[in-house]
């Protein structure tokens, strides 16, 4: 039987920084409020001519280089994004595949908001274990600045742009395989976090009428409460089901939405500070890109070594959630 191994990581962060100070000149907010309630200090914003696919392709180039594979060996590309280059088609994954010169691959996007990277990881694992694919490039890429209302202080302080990517490969060695992945969703919470305009479900008769906005709207406090409850249960369950103790987790890599959510889940697992990966202060919430960007951070700072166990967890619009137990298993 084939197992799926997490071989490599890469990320891209656009250069322009939007600080809390900058935002306090745009809406009625302050560095003190944002820092205290979210832990965010700054976020990065893509250039106007820099698209989600550009960022995804840059992250993916690094991930492929670091995988030790030739790009011709990649046989599937899956991109998690809620800010695709084009809302209906083509998929951002197909555009990235072409930018990378991958030739004929299976390529598609998935929409699971901030849980997107855990979802694409589960898809890669399933295709590999079914024997249908051997080397899957998974990407989380977001230009959230394109769907953020910069007059809404409840959301615009949270989100940033960026991309991360990983190569997941078939292996016969169970020791290096992804251990388990949980994914879940509950549409009864759909209205907590959504982009109400721009789709066939919008109340507008024509696309012209809705041209003004395809912005994210969020009931932040309610989302916060469901996030803490759901994530805490999910991570406790995945550890218990796999007979793994919190102390065995080398790197807890949560979706970087809010420092208070991360701390609540970390405390429930009794994790030590050094086990918890934090990038929320410098990148803000980059939705589907946040987990691979955080993994890349520990990789590039030399903290992520072969064989170390990561626990990923995420929560987002849908509502969706997920967690994963993933050993880092580079080929080189």
Q: Determine which one of 114, 156, 258, 296 is catalytic.
A: 114
| 220 is a site residue for ligand UT7 (CB under 6 A) | yes
Select 24 or 61, whichever has its Cβ closest to ligand UT7: 24
**Of the residues 8, 92, 195, 223, which one makes contact with ligand UT7 according to CB under 6 A:** 223
- Applying CB under 6 A, the span of 48-56, 166-174, 220-228, 274-282 interacting with ligand UT7 comes to 220-228
285 is a catalytic site residue? yes
| 20 is a site residue for ligand UT7 (CB under 6 A) | no
Select 120 or 167, whichever has its Cβ closest to ligand UT7: 120
Supply 37's token pair: 């309630």
Rounded distance between C-alpha atoms, residue 6 and residue 177, angstroms = 7
- Applying CB under 6 A, the span of 79-87, 150-158, 266-274, 275-283 interacting with ligand UT7 comes to 150-158
Which residues sit opposite 3 in a β-bridge? 171
Rounded distance between C-alpha atoms, residue 303 and residue 305, angstroms = 6
Select 102 or 265, whichever has its Cβ closest to ligand UT7: 265
Q: Which residues of 122-141 are buried (b: 16+ CB within 10 A; e: fewer)?
A: bbbbebbbeeebbbbbbbbb
Conformation bin of residue 213: beta by default, left when phi > 0, alpha when psi is -120 to 50: beta
Rg (CA), the chain: 19
| 224 is a site residue for ligand UT7 (CB under 6 A) | yes
| 82 is a site residue for ligand UT7 (CB under 6 A) | no
DSSP 273-307: GGGB---HHHH-B-GGGHHHHHHHHHHHTT---TT
**Of the residues 104, 221, 243, 301, which one makes contact with ligand UT7 according to CB under 6 A:** 221
104 is a catalytic site residue? no
Supply 160's token pair: 């940033």
Residues found near ligand UT7 in the complex (CB under 6 A) = 29, 33, 37-38, 114, 153-154, 157, 193, 220-221, 223-224, 227, 257-258, 261, 285, 315-316
- Write out the catalytic residue numbers: 114, 255, 285
């Amino acid at each position: 039987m084939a197992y799926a191994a997490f071989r490599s990581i890469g990320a891209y962060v656009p250069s322009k920084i939007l600080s809390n100070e900058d935002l306090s000149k745009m809406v009625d907010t302050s560095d003190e409020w944002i820092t205290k309630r979210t832990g965010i200090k700054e976020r990065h914003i893509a250039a106007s001519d820099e698209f989600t696919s550009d960022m995804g392709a840059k992250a993916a180039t690094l991930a492929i280089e670091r995988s030790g594979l030739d790009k011709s060996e990649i046989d599937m590309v899956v991109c998690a994004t809620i800010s695709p280059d084009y809302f209906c088609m083509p998929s951002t994954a197909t555009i990235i595949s072409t930018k990378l010169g991958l030739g004929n691959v299976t390529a598609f996007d998935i929409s699971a908001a901030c849980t997107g990277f855990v979802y694409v990881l589960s898809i890669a694992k399933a295709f590999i274990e079914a024997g249908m694919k051997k080397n899957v490039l998974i990407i989380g890429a977001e230009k959230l600045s394109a769907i953020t209302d910069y007059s809404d202080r409840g959301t615009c302080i949270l989100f940033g742009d960026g991309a991360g990517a990983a190569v997941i490969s078939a292996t016969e060695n169970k020791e290096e395989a992804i251990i388990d992945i949980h994914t879940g969703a509950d549409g009864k919470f759909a209205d907590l976090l959504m982009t109400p305009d721009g789709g066939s479900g919008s109340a507008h008769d024509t696309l012209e009428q809705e041209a003004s906005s395809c912005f994210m709207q969020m009931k932040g406090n309610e989302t916060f409460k469901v996030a803490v409850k759901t994530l805490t249960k999910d991570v406790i369950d995945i550890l218990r089901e796999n007979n793994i103790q919190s102390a065995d987790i080398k790197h807890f890599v949560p979706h970087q939405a809010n420092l208070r959510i991360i701390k609540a889940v970390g405390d429930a697992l009794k994790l030590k500070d050094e086990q918890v990966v934090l990038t929320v202060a410098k990148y803000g919430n980059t939705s589907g890109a946040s987990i691979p960007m955080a993994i890349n951070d520990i990789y590039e700072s030399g903290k992520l070594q072969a064989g170390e166990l990561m626990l990923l967890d995420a929560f987002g619009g849908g509502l969706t959630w997920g967690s994963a137990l993933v050993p880092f298993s580079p080929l080189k």
